[in-house]
Structure 1
């Protein structure tokens, strides 16, 4: 078992609010999905109500984030998600609403399909994704865990085919990551840091 299982159990046991909003922040390929899967396993074993959201399910269509005239890194950081819409129609509603309707992105069709998700009356709401500690979103969370992982390690986790497009990493992803790290200081600002 991973060493952070006890940490997760402790965190889940300590929260005393009807709904507790937990962010799992980390850059691409830092292990967020695996971490959330393990947390889900723990919550299921303890019969605790929860709901998980993956921020990548809520990105905008390609025409709004590619070839926009902005630099590639700006498209990724500023345009990949409709930041203001998510603030008002997603994050802001998570503490109060009984259910939430969201436009989930279908990457194959490059379209969105609305889906209504019930929210637990009491329990944990977990959001995993990149850039969660941007100024527009950070204040919504009760706690944020940041998975800290070196860029070289994360890049090595990419498929061989994906690694071939190095310029996309250099111009789009890595510059946006640097902007986030230098502007938001996610490792210093998170409540808990885990090396992944």
Structure 2
């Protein structure tokens, strides 16, 4: 009996030690600096070719639910649960980064797009997905768009845009680059669609 008690005590001690080690590891990971990424790479070149003389449009910051609306990079598992990539983050909240990408794309499409509220038309957007889908090895971006007449508050047109791209790597800069490239493409599609309806 003493031997059994001793073995049980040893097991409890081992579990406690493992719990403490795990807690220390998680704390260390939480404190480690994250590598920071941006969606606006090459935005200066886009602005250089922008056509600003077209119709004016107001582009407010897109809406997005957590964790997509944060500065963390989201991954989705096969069971549809979401998590964030460890060790990496956006330079600021994703909606703000995507707002700038949209403005660049709209300017490239010939619109005088800005974050100023005074324009007669508004491009209202909701980022529903902006993530790496691990089960399908895809970067997935889904954005709901409404072109709104500011004077009446009515939607002139609406559409849901989806962009998918192969994402064989689920961590670090390769995953982020895939998302950034997909963001550039979907923003360009939104810009062209908006210009055709102004």
User: Which structure has more RCO (C-alpha within 8 Å, separation ≥ 6)?
Assistant: 1
Give 1 or 2 for the bigger CA radius of gyration: 2
State whether TM-score is above 0.5: no
The two structures have a TM-score, normalised by structure 2, of: 0.24
Relative to total residues, which structure has the larger strand share, 1 or 2? Answer: 2
